[in-house]
A and B are shown apart, each in its own frame.
Chain A
Amino acid sequence: MDNSQLFFDFAPIWQARTLLLEGFGIAMFSAVAGIFFAILLGLIVALMRLSRYRALRAIAFTYTQLFRGVPLYVLVLWIYFGLVYAVGIDIPRIPSGIIALALLNSGYLSETFRSGILAVEKGQREAGEALGLRPWQVSRFIVLPQAGRIVVPPTGNQFVDAIKDSAILSIIGVPELMKVAQEQANMYYRPFEFYTVAGLLYLIAVIIVSKGISKLEQRLARFSRASKEASSGERRPSEVGG
């Protein structure tokens, strides 16, 4: 049957559905893993930036500037191609992509976490100290739980960006959704169809995650004064990278 006259030929999409969904799964996995490590790194860097020791603050500041300034595309190429040649570390495709996503997002998240921690009123820390809590207890039981609520919405937005950014990993051959779409588009010579479907899949993922975030935000806002200020949850427009 000749389908070349159809405006939107769904048949090749249907044939490639398992491949597309697998790609979608890998994309989501990369984004989740990337953001997971980004949160860990970002927290460490944020605490370093709030350290009383100048050297730690300087290192953390440089780190933040570095990974907020570098485009993901360059970072991915640098890790996957650059490091092999220069340092001899041969990191496979998917881990390379996850590392790049983690580093890039940790730069942004460290800033988010830092401002979240600073947004907790000074009096809260004082009150904890006055009770006789140890410094780590003040952080653990008083400051971090409140900061946590403040940073939920921006962290969620960062996750959304990581999902979108994961499409870039196709350039180093990570078999995620975009890579699959490219291959299939070339095979069937149906770029419009495949890229539309790929776009829709990303759209669905982003919408679901965004909805989840605002649900979470509402739940947290119910009993916390701290999260009120942040509940506007406005998206930082600087991450258009994906």
Chain B
Amino acid sequence: MSETLLQLRNVGKRFGDHVVLKDINLDIAKGEVVCVIGPSGSGKSTLLRCINFIAPPEEGEVIFEGRTWKRFHSAFNFIANRKYEAKLPTLRAEIGMVFQHFNVFPHMTAIENVVLGLTKVRGNTRNVAREIAERSLRQVGLGDKLDQYPEKLSGGQKQRVAIARALALNPKVMLFDEVTSALDPELVTGILDEMRRLASDGMTMVVVTHEMNFAFQVATRIVFMDAGRIVTIGTPEEIRNTTEPRARAFLSSILG
């Protein structure tokens, strides 16, 4: 195995009394494609959001490129809170994320969506940023939609803008959160192909998905989650032949 890029150590999260994640341990190597599957409400999306601290884990830590990240919150020391929050963007800037509901910025054109991170996060000049953004949008097949507002784009095109927006920053890992769930059926394949291409280019990816065919074809490892815990991890082959009862039940209900 090549070097480890990302580690989750005893990560846990709760909303009030409700435990969403518990004792998550996961090592991800460079170039791996890890697909996370499991019934809805099993904590898959929350797991992704813990990795880039958009929903910071209350317990445990995330180690990214050897640097350890832990949630910090003080009820009274708001200066310390600020300091901690000011650090998070450096982690997030290295991690790209694509969302189920696209979350493109409706008040910006396609290219402006991509330029924003390049100028404000990477500190590129506008001209350089536009060049990179254009290339990035071309790559996802939107070369002719640069100056369109998202309102004028289809769901698939919006999702491509979102992918280009994340990729333009040259992230070390990409997180995909059910990115095809909100798409019309005929648009799903295009986005999945885009992700296949990324995987074969060697991008490290963590993919939460309901597309089992995709998961079993593309993943280097599959994580099966249920009720906030990782139930089993393995290669697609191992998961297909798993004896773990919950995973079996889930797979047979989906694959029939």
Contacts and interface: CB of A to CB of B under 8 A. Distances in A.
Interface in A75-128: 121, 123-124, 126-128
Interface string A201-227: 000000000000000000000011110
Contact of B101 (A123, A129, A130, A223): A123
Q: Is the interface of A mostly helix, strand, loop or mixed?
A: helix
Contacts of B162: 127
Given A146-B106, A224-B151, A226-B106, A133 B89 contact: yes
Interface stretch (B11-19, B113-121, B210-218, B245-253): B113-121
Interface string B137-156: 00000000000011100000
A101 B108 CA distance: 35
Interface string A171-203: 000000000000000000000000000000000
B121 A149 contact: no
A123 B93 contact: no
B54 A131 contact: no
Interface string B17-53: 0000000000000000000000000000000010010
A237 interface: no
A145 B107 contact: yes
A25 B94 CA distance: 56
A14 interface: no
Nearest to B81: A52
Given A53-B78, A141-B116, A141-B120, A132 B92 contact: yes
Given A123-B99, A126-B99, A223-B151, A133 B107 contact: no
A124 B105 contact: yes
Contact of A131 (B85, B92, B101): B92
Contact of A223 (B54, B116, B149, B166): B149
Given A121-B103, A146-B106, A133 B117 contact: yes
Best-surrounded residue of B151, B162, B165 (most CB of chain A within 10 A): B151
B7 to A, nearest CB: 20
A135 B92 contact: no
Interface string A128-160: 111111110100011001100100000000000
B107 A224 contact: yes
Contacts of A149: 107
Interface residues of A, number: 24
Nearest to B109: A223
A142 B108 CA distance: 9
A224 B121 CA distance: 24
A122 to B, nearest CB: 9
A131 B169 contact: yes
B120 A133 contact: yes
Nearest to B150: A225
B57 interface: no
A142 B166 CA distance: 16
A123 B104 CA distance: 9
Contact of A132 (B90, B106, B149): B90
Given A132-B89, A134-B89, A225-B150, A126 B103 contact: yes
Contacts of A123: 99, 101, 103
A141 B97 CA distance: 18
Interface of B: 49, 52, 54, 78, 85-86, 88-97, 99, 101, 103-107, 116-117, 120-121, 149-151, 162, 165-166, 169, 175
23 contacts: A123-B101, A124-B103, A127-B104, A128-B105, A129-B52, A130-B92, A130-B97, A130-B166, A130-B175, A131-B92, A131-B116, A131-B121, A131-B166, A131-B169, A132-B90, A132-B121, A132-B169, A141-B116, A142-B105, A146-B106, A223-B151, A224-B151, A225-B106
Q: Which 10 A-B pairs have the closest CB atoms?
A: A132-B93, A127-B103, A130-B97, A123-B103, A131-B117, A132-B92, A132-B121, A225-B106, A223-B149, A132-B89
